[in-house]
Structure 1
Amino acid sequence: MSAAVGSFSLGASVGWSGPVESRYKEGKAGYSFTPNDDEWGWISSLLTLGAGLVCIPIGVIIGIIGRKLTMLILVLPYMIGWALIGFDLNVTMVMLGRFIIGACGGSFCVTAPMYNTEIAEVQNRGMMGCFFQLFLVHGILYGYICGAVNDVRIVTFLCAIMPIIFFITFIWMPESPVYLMQKGKTEKAEKAMKFLRGKDTDNTAELNEMAEETKKKNVRLTDVFFQKATMKGLFLSVSLMLFQQFTGVNAIVFYSSQIFESANTGISPNLCNIILGILMILSSLMALFLIDRIGRKMILLICSTVMTGSLLLMAGYYQWLQSKNLGWIGTLAVCIFVVSFSGGFGPVPWLLTAELFAEDAKTVAGAIACTSNWLLAFCVTKLFPLCVNEFGEAVCFLFFSIMSILAFVFVLFLVPETKGKTLNEIQAILGG
Structure 2
Amino acid sequence: MYERLYKKIDRLAALKWLISIARDWQQHLPCIGQILFGYAAGWPSPVMPKLLDPDQFPRAPTPMQTNWIVSIIFIGCLIGTVISGPLSNTVGRKPCLIVGGSTASLSFLALALIKHPYSLMAFRLTCGVGCSMVFGVNLVYIGEIASTEIRGMLLGSTGLFNSLGFLVVYSVGNYVPYDVINYIGMILGIVFVTGILFAPETPIYYIIRGRNEEAKATLLALGRKDDAEKVSELRMEIESNHKVKAWNTLLKVKCNRKALVITSLLHIFQQASGIGAMLAYTTMIFEISGSSITPYIATIIVGAVNLAAGFITPLFVERFGRKILLLLSTFLTGLTLLILAIYIYHYNTGNPAVLNIRWVPLPVYILYCISYSFGFGVLPATLVGEMFQLNVRSAGSAVALCISWLAAFICLSTFGYIISGSGVHVAFAIFSASCGLAFLFTIFFVPETKGKSLIEVQEMLDK
TM over 0.5: yes
Deviates further, 244-253 or 209-218: 209-218
Aligned to 1:9: 36
Determine the C-alpha separation between the residues in 1 that align with 2:30 and 2:82: 20
Q: Return the offset for 1:158.
A: 0.7
Aligned to 1:292: 318
Residue 188 of structure 2: which of 162, 181, 195 is its match?
162
Structure 2 residue 294 is the aligned partner of structure 1 residue 263: no
Which whole-Å deviations, capped at 9, do the CAs of 1:45-80 have from their partners, x for residues lacking one?
Answer: 111121123322322222323333311221221122
Q: Return the offset for 1:408.
A: 2.5
Residue 412 of structure 2: which of 381, 386, 411 is its match?
381
Aligned to 2:368: 337
Determine the C-alpha separation between the residues in 2 that align with 1:33 and 1:140: 27
Determine the C-alpha separation between the residues in 1 that align with 2:106 and 2:364: 38
Structure 2 residue 377 is the aligned partner of structure 1 residue 350: no
1:10-409 counterparts in 2 under 5 A?
Answer: 10-28=37-55, 30-119=56-145, 127-194=153-220, 198-199=223-224, 201=226, 208=233, 211-216=236-241, 217=243, 219=245, 221=247, 224-321=250-347, 323=350, 324-325=354-355, 326-358=357-389, 360-409=391-440
**Matched-pair contact (CA < 8 Å) for 2:35–2:162:** yes
Q: Return the offset for 1:308.
A: 2.0
Deviates further, 220-229 or 84-93: 220-229
Determine the C-alpha separation between the residues in 2 that align with 1:310 and 1:171: 44
Deviates further, 290-299 or 249-258: 290-299
SS of equivalent to 1:328:
coil
Provide closer, same or farther for how the CA distance between residues 67 and 16 of structure 1 changes in structure 2, counting only shifts above 3 A: same
**Matched-pair contact (CA < 8 Å) for 1:219–1:364:** no
**Matched-pair contact (CA < 8 Å) for 1:126–1:351:** no
Determine the C-alpha separation between the residues in 2 that align with 1:109 and 1:352: 18
The AA in structure 1 aligned to 2:420 is: N
**Matched-pair contact (CA < 8 Å) for 2:344–2:425:** yes
**Matched-pair contact (CA < 8 Å) for 2:100–2:129:** no
Deviates further, 277-286 or 69-78: 69-78
**Matched-pair contact (CA < 8 Å) for 1:225–1:231:** yes
- The answer for unaligned runs of 5 or more in structure 1 is none
SS of equivalent to 2:30:
helix
Q: Return the offset for 1:135.
A: 1.0
Which whole-Å deviations, capped at 9, do the CAs of 1:308-340 have from their partners, x for residues lacking one?
Answer: 221121122123355321222122221211122
**Matched-pair contact (CA < 8 Å) for 2:260–2:396:** yes
Provide closer, same or farther for how the CA distance between residues 130 and 227 of structure 1 changes in structure 2, counting only shifts above 3 A: same
Deviates further, 214-223 or 80-89: 214-223
Determine the C-alpha separation between the residues in 2 that align with 1:81 and 1:408: 39
Q: Return the offset for 1:27.
A: 2.4
Provide closer, same or farther for how the CA distance between residues 115 and 424 of structure 1 changes in structure 2, counting only shifts above 3 A: farther
Deviates further, 200-209 or 413-422: 200-209
**Matched-pair contact (CA < 8 Å) for 1:6–1:166:** yes
Deviates further, 91-100 or 217-226: 217-226
Structure of greater relative contact order (alpha carbons < 8 Å, 6+ residues apart): 1
Aligned to 2:9: none
The AA in structure 1 aligned to 2:240 is: K
Deviates further, 334-343 or 227-236: 227-236
Deviates further, 354-363 or 141-150: 354-363
The AA in structure 2 aligned to 1:406 is: L
Provide closer, same or farther for how the CA distance between residues 345 and 111 of structure 1 changes in structure 2, counting only shifts above 3 A: farther
Deviates further, 15-24 or 162-171: 162-171
**Matched-pair contact (CA < 8 Å) for 2:317–2:325:** yes
Deviates further, 52-61 or 247-256: 52-61
Determine the C-alpha separation between the residues in 2 that align with 1:425 and 1:188: 37
Q: Return the offset for 1:287.
A: 1.3
Determine the C-alpha separation between the residues in 1 that align with 2:169 and 2:235: 39
- The answer for unaligned runs of 5 or more in structure 2 is 1-27
Determine the C-alpha separation between the residues in 1 that align with 2:69 and 2:460: 43
Q: TM-score, normalised by structure 2?
A: 0.83
The AA in structure 1 aligned to 2:370 is: V
Q: Return the offset for 1:393.
A: 2.4
Q: TM-score, normalised by structure 1?
A: 0.88
Determine the C-alpha separation between the residues in 1 that align with 2:286 and 2:235: 50
Deviates further, 236-245 or 106-115: 106-115
Provide closer, same or farther for how the CA distance between residues 107 and 419 of structure 1 changes in structure 2, counting only shifts above 3 A: farther
SS of equivalent to 2:90:
helix
The AA in structure 1 aligned to 2:395 is: V
Which whole-Å deviations, capped at 9, do the CAs of 1:230-257 have from their partners, x for residues lacking one?
Answer: 3233222211210110001111111111
Q: Percent identity, aligned pairs only?
A: 26
Q: Return the offset for 1:276.
A: 0.7
Could you say which structure has the larger radius of gyration? 2
**Matched-pair contact (CA < 8 Å) for 2:326–2:379:** yes
- Tell me how many residue pairs correspond in the alignment: 430
Deviates further, 314-323 or 87-96: 314-323
Provide closer, same or farther for how the CA distance between residues 409 and 183 of structure 1 changes in structure 2, counting only shifts above 3 A: farther
Determine the C-alpha separation between the residues in 1 that align with 2:149 and 2:333: 28
Determine the C-alpha separation between the residues in 1 that align with 2:46 and 2:231: 46
Determine the C-alpha separation between the residues in 1 that align with 2:284 and 2:277: 10
Provide closer, same or farther for how the CA distance between residues 356 and 121 of structure 1 changes in structure 2, counting only shifts above 3 A: farther
Provide closer, same or farther for how the CA distance between residues 279 and 23 of structure 1 changes in structure 2, counting only shifts above 3 A: same
Q: Return the offset for 1:351.
A: 3.8
